[in-house]
Amino acid sequence: MAKRVMRRTAGEGLYYHPDFHGALSASLDYLERHYGVEGVREFLRRFARACYAPLVAGLQERGLVALEEHFREVYRFEGGEAQITRTEETLVVKVRACPAVQHMRRRGYPVAHLWGETLRTVGEALCEGTPYAVELCVYDPEGGGSIECFYRRRR
């Protein structure tokens, strides 16, 4: 019978645990079942306002370039194929297939019925109180492909 010891230190590896997408998906299903669509949206809004407070501040101060940098880093890290185009007043994020959805499909985790709200509601929460707005123009629930359009609101 074996005796084994494993010692790891925090600096040894990259923090990348994509199964968390499956846990978030299960969480959204739970919220929908118990608190409805509005419960899912309210939770995601609160999360985004808390977790992305520095990003929202960046959007206020530096404009859409702050969001562009954020999304480039997210899709570089997660390995997604994203086409990101920015003009002075618009930012378009086109994703052929969402890396989170792809991972969940591969691992057999159910993809939440309201997974698209992680784009729609979070995007709206990022823009709240800023001169910008967002529209989720395209969303494919099967593969998670999407087109998000951020733009400056009309004055």
Partner 1 sequence: MIPCTDFIPAYSELFKYLEERGAPQAVAAFWEYLADRFLQNLRELAATQGLRGCWEYWARTLTEEAADFTMELDEEAGEFRIVMHQCPSKALLLRCSYLEPYPDYCRHCDILYRRVLEPLGYEYEIDLSECDQARCILSVRKKGQAQFPPTRGAGES
Residues that bind partner 1 (CB under 8 A): 1-24, 26-27, 29-31, 34-35, 39, 42-43, 46-47, 50-51, 53-54, 74-75, 77-78, 80, 95, 98-100, 109, 118-119, 122, 144
Task: Report in angstroms how near the CB of residue 62 gets to partner 1 at its nearest.
Answer: 18
Task: Report in angstroms how near the CB of residue 89 gets to partner 1 at its nearest.
Answer: 23
Nearer to partner 1, 11 or 88 (CB): 11
Task: Report in angstroms how near the CB of residue 133 gets to partner 1 at its nearest.
Answer: 19
Place of tokens 């010692």: 7
**What are the phi and psi torsion angles at 150 (to 5°)?**
-95, 140
Q: Could you tell me where the DSSP H helices lie in 52-127?
A: 53-62, 64-78, 99-107, 117-127
Nearer to partner 1, 107 or 153 (CB): 107
Nearer to partner 1, 6 or 154 (CB): 6
* Nearest-angstrom CA–CA distance, 85 and 139: 18
What letter represents residue 145's amino acid? G
* Cβ–Cβ under 8 Å, residues 62 and 136: no
* Nearest-angstrom CA–CA distance, 145 and 153: 25
Nearer to partner 1, 1 or 154 (CB): 1
* Cβ–Cβ under 8 Å, residues 59 and 126: yes
Nearer to partner 1, 10 or 154 (CB): 10
Task: Report in angstroms how near the CB of residue 42 gets to partner 1 at its nearest.
Answer: 7
Task: Report in angstroms how near the CB of residue 21 gets to partner 1 at its nearest.
Answer: 6
- The enclosing H or E element of 150 equals strand 146-152
